[in-house]
A and B are shown apart, each in its own frame.
Chain A
């Protein structure tokens, strides 16, 4: 059975008497343990779609089911990772990671914190506050915080958007390494075509507003992916063309 199933999801926002159609008839299936990218230009509605899937918004029409159950609200089994602004500034790194772990015993909790601090590569910074960390480090804290509760699904909304492009390359590798260790189902929103092709098992290409899923591309290259390989470039160009983008700058 599919982990996630979105059927005919549509979303409208009304403000000051004007209605905007953000999503129109979106259909999506995600398999367990899969890494799926939602790709599209900024403002096309992919973040809205992700918020609906995560349960923060109710769709105007259609339904989302996870594990066969309808999604009615946010749930700790499916953690949303915002951009590094989502890290709580009044807690230390350890405090943030421990946020969802209040039901555990003290020893269990400390064990888990130590494990995930190590996993995201932030040893030595447990007592640091977010204000003292770089953007990339804050992003790692947020990922660690999300993973610490062992969620089934992870939703990442352009998590590397605020980072410089060099850091972004490192972070992508790190994310894949962590994902291969944990194997949650991941939905990753991005506007960066290269990022999508580098990371995902499948890429759902979204159209402009009112958005729908134009095409789902299967990325059949095994990790680690050579970004100069012919197959990589072929898949990437395919998406370029799908989006109707010019090939020369």
Chain B
């Protein structure tokens, strides 16, 4: 409501009101484009995210476990982390060309570093008493990892996964705006370039926001069941 009022009162006749946005959404659904774009975006996110998780979590847990490894790799990680995945775009395009692989790579990068740092942090946060008790009971190193360490870090890992999934969602939209030609990010850029369809632009933003919310809510329900 406030939105509609704001648009009516402002002199910017370019920004669409909610009614036009809904119209734009309906348009997209009619042409079958909405589903196609959403699937494309989700597809890339899944690939990049899962790859990052599979690599980053075991690596991070290992590095966190060995103090010297953490001391060695931490500065490198801290320098690579603030580099936005977007800054990797030229390199990504150089290595993978314009297309799906490049955007998956970018999402992978965006998820890899935070997940690794979360895993390292989680291992270091395991109270010494847990590990001492495990050694006391004569558990083998393998058993310590699987029966004590892993359950202890799972809650923190899930929180990290949730935050990283959010990041992945942000990165995919950005990557699509620049480096591919399908997906929700592309929709936003294209709708503006090919005809100033700002109703579609905002519609795209709304869908992005809603899906982001759903992903986040989904992860939170996972969190509450595991903590």
| Complex contact flag A–B (Cβ < 8 Å) | no
B interface with A by C-beta (< 8 Å): none
A interface with B by C-beta (< 8 Å): none
